Structures are given as C-alpha cells and as structure tokens.
Structure 1
Amino acid sequence: MSARTEVLIFAGSSISHEDAAKILDATYWPPISRGDIGKAASEGYKIIGIIDGIFFSRAAAAHKEIINVIKDGVTVIGGCSMGALRASELDIHGMEGVGTVYEWYRDGVIEDDDEVAVATNPDTFESVSSPMVNIRETLKAANSAGIIDDDECRLIIQLAKKTHYTERSYFGISRTAEKEGIISKEKAERLLQFCKENERDIKREDAILVLKKIKEIISEF
C-alpha cells in the first residue's frame, strides 16, 4: 500500500497542501474539526498528522476521538497549531508531538488556544491574520536587531496579546503601538518593515517538522 493511501494530513492554514505535498506524498484534508479523525480512521488511514484545526467557528477535534483511534492502532502525530495543542494534552495517551509550539504547550510556556489561532479564508484555508506565536518571536527578533528596545518589545507583545486573534497583524500592531505612544511614527514604520521582511514563521517551521517526522516513520516500515 502506498504512503498516499495510508497517510493523511490535516493542514491548510500553516502550510498549503501544495507546499506540503512537495515534502510528503500523502492525502491532505482541510484543518481538522470534530468527527474528522474518526472518519479518516474508518477510511483506512494508518498514520494521521494533525497540523491545523478548527478552533472557534466549529467544534474542535475532541480528545476522546483522538485517543480512540490511537487505541485502534493508528499513529497520530501532531505539531504546529491544533496538532501541537492536542499533542501536549495527549502525549501521555500515545499521540506524538513535534516542534517548538508543541514543546511550549507541553512545558507551560504558553497555554491559550489563541496563541496559534488565526482567521482564515474559508475557501482556501489560508491565514488572513498573524498567529501570536509568530508575532511574539518576530518582535523579539526586532528587539535583538535594535529596532525596538526591551520595554517597547514587552509592551507591544502585551498589546498584540490583547488584540483579538482575528485582528492580529503586523500593520495593526505597529500602528496601534504608535497611537498609544509606545513607539514613534518613524519607529513604527521601521518595525512594520522589519516584520514584513523578517517574520519568524514558527508555525510553518513546525508544520514542516511534522511532515518530515511522518516521512521518517514511513521510511522505517
């Protein structure tokens, strides 16, 4: 049986199906929601990778349904977004976590669902807002590069965290930071330019790690 008929990946927001397929030959479904993993297992998929998932617009993938397919012998790998969140909660039940975001959730560095949540295009699943995990690391990089100082970085991260996940963007954050007097107009423009050109896309990095981990598992068969 080929990898494509045995392996299923839930993705689309953190990495496109087209880009993911260049790394791993598998079947790709949209971000996971309630009931999807049981359906996948019933269709014969033996290795399931969870990268992206539905958070607030529909019922999210439940812990019990993931545990059930693991008990039935399905290998479930998670990382990046919903996959990282569920893996941090279910690694004791046999779900395998991969990547930085998984480790942050597992170790209590981050706790909230909104850290990885984004607004998406309903037709393409593409992100139309920026995830907090990316924003935080990009702002830290701007701090290291001397664009903003330590206090400014801390205050802008707080500002971003207070912004609803559907409205988070580097443009909005830099402009709001200027309006609230955290940074000057000139510095806001420099910050926005830096973020556009130097974003730390933690979620995409972790999505790739999930795909590579599954590729490694397949190669061992």
Structure 2
Amino acid sequence: MHSRKIIIFTGPSLSHSDASDILRADYRPPVRRGDVHEALSDKPDIIGIIDGVFHQSPAVGHREIIEALRMGVTVVGGASMGALRASELYDLGMVGVGRIFRAYLNGDLESDDDVAVAFNPETLEALSDSLVSIHFNFERALESGIIGEDDFRELMKIAKNLFYPLRNYQRILHDAEIPENRKASLMSFLESEGRDIKREDAIEVIKYIKGLLSSDDQDHGCETHGS
C-alpha cells in the first residue's frame, strides 16, 4: 500500500489546524520562490498551493511548478497565490479550484492585489481583508439594498486605493462619505453575513485533494492515510 505524500502551502486563508481537521497532510507556510523545488526532494504525490508571499520576497516561480508537473506530481491551486498560478498554468496541467481561480481564468480578476493580505509571520493569521472578499460582500450588500450604487462605487474606490496591508472594512467605512445609518447597517451586515471567499476556496482545495485520495483508493482497492 502506497501512503501518498501530500504537501500543502497555506496560512492566512486557512490555518494549518483547520486544514488538518479536513485532511492530514504536510502543511507548510505560504509558498515562496524555491519552496516547490525544495518540496520535490520529499517526493510528494500531490502539492497544494493556497497561500504564497507576493511582495515580501520573490513569489513562487512558474518554472518550479512546471518542474513538479513534469515529474508527475499533481499540483492543485486555489484561493490566493494558488488561484493565480493555477490560472496561468492551467494549460500545462495545474489544477485550479474555486471561485477565485475561475475569476482569474476568465479575466474578471487580473492583479495579485485582489488576493494579497498582510499576515503575522509567527501565527500566519491574516491582518487585513482581501479585495476579492471585500468586493463580494459589498456587492451582496448592494443587492440586498443595504447600500446604493453610489455607496458601492465609493467604497470600492477607497478599498482599491488602500495599500493592501492597510485594507480592512473598518478603515474603508471610516473613510467613506456615506450616511452614518447606512454605515451602521453595512457593518452589521458584514458582521452577521460577511463571507471570506479566500477561506471558502481554500477549504474547497483541501476537499478536492481529499477527493483525489478517495478516488485513488477506489481505483486501487485499498485504504489510504493521506499524510
């Protein structure tokens, strides 16, 4: 029986402990340039890329992911850096999962700024909100009639103009020139119904990889412990 080696790079989108509740694997911090190449020495069967660094140090290279694919490693991406790279390397065999991946693939998202967040290097917790989740939630507030078209446009303009480590709902609402009662309604909506799209997609990536293991079990008629 071949126990499959799975390496997954995640952090601010989904904590290692929450990911481990879904699937046992070798969880590593957000991927940097060289990390995938280095991971290949551990002979993984599957590499999952969720989070990665964007600006603090060089981002994960296309070449090292292509190297993994050529070696027969299944590489799955989604949610953040993984969604971006999967959309770029989709034609070469990288698997993309989730709403954010599809948005990059069809051109609705183009910039890494849409998914970039600041995170605590010790705990890997997110310290800012992603533009992709902000846009999704403000759009839902608009559809629900909590804010109007002009409010939505102003809120998104402020969000886009903020440097990503400073981008959060409190800051955006503080800077927006919209009536206080609408601000209060919007904040209440965000607290009760706000969704974290990156987290949702990250969970989808883990579940997709788990699904690969169960289909592999059926193909080989054996039980696999994915770690």
TM-score, structure 1 normalization: 0.94
The aligned counterpart of 2:34 is 35
C-alpha distance in 2 between matches for 1:142 and 1:56: 31
Question: Do residues 218 (structure 1) and 213 (structure 2) align?
Answer: yes
- Following superposition, the deviation at residue 43 of structure 1 comes to 1.0
- 3-state SS of 1:220 partner: helix
The alpha carbon displacement at 1:191 in A equals: 1.5
- Equivalent-residue separation in structure 1 for 2:185 and 2:211 (angstroms): 41
* 1:130 matches 2:125: no
Shift of 1:159: 1.5
1:79/1:210 contact within 8 Å kept? yes
Deviation at 1:131, TM superposition (A): 0.2
- In the alignment, is residue 196 of structure 1 matched against residue 198 of structure 2? no
The amino acid that maps onto 2:125 is E
For 1:131 and 1:35, how far apart are their aligned partners in 2? 25
Residue in 1 aligned with 2:181? 186
Q: Distance in 2 between the 1:213 and 1:164 partners?
A: 33
Q: Quick check: 1:78–1:84 contact (8 Å CA) kept in 2? A: yes
Using the alignment, how far apart are the partners of 1:159 and 1:88 within structure 2?
Answer: 27
> Which residue of structure 2 aligns with residue 83 of structure 1?
82
**Moved runs in structure 1, 4+ residues, more than 2 A?**
none
Equivalent residue pairs, number: 215
Ranges in structure 2 where 5+ consecutive residues have no aligned partner: 217-227
Deviates more, 1:206-215 or 1:195-204: 195-204
Q: Are 1:92 and 2:87 counterparts?
A: no
What value does the CA root-mean-square deviation take over the aligned residues?
Answer: 1.0
For residues 7-27 of structure 1, give each alpha carbon's deviation from its aligned partner in whole angstroms, at most 9, with x where no partner exists: 011001101000001111111
Deviations 1:46-88 (A, max 9, x none): 1000000011001100001110111011110000000000000
Mapped partners of 1:196, 1:159: distance in 2: 20
The corresponding residue for 1:105 is 104
Distance in 1 between residues matched to 2:113 and 2:52, nearest whole Å: 12
Q: In the alignment, which residue of structure 2 is the partner of 1:70?
A: 69
1:3-14 map, 5 Å: 3=4, 6-14=5-13
In 2, Cα distance between equivalents of 1:11 and 1:139: 26
Q: Distance in 2 between matches of 1:163 and 1:185?
A: 21
Q: Percent identity?
A: 47
Return the TM-score normalized by structure 2: 0.92
Deviation at 1:142, TM superposition (A): 1.2
Q: Which residue of structure 2 aligns with residue 114 of structure 1?
A: 113
Aligned letter for 1:2?
S
Q: What's the offset of the Cα at 1:189?
A: 2.2
**2:3 counterpart residue number:** 2
Alpha-carbon separation, structure 1, partners of 2:146 and 2:171: 17
Shift of 1:29: 0.3
Greater CA drift, 39-48 or 127-136? 39-48
The aligned amino acid for 2:3 is: S
**Mean alpha-carbon deviation: is it higher for 145-154 or for 113-122?**
145-154
Deviations 1:152-172 (A, max 9, x none): 112211221111111111101
Q: Deviations over 1:165-184 (max 9, x none)?
A: 1111110111100xxx2x11
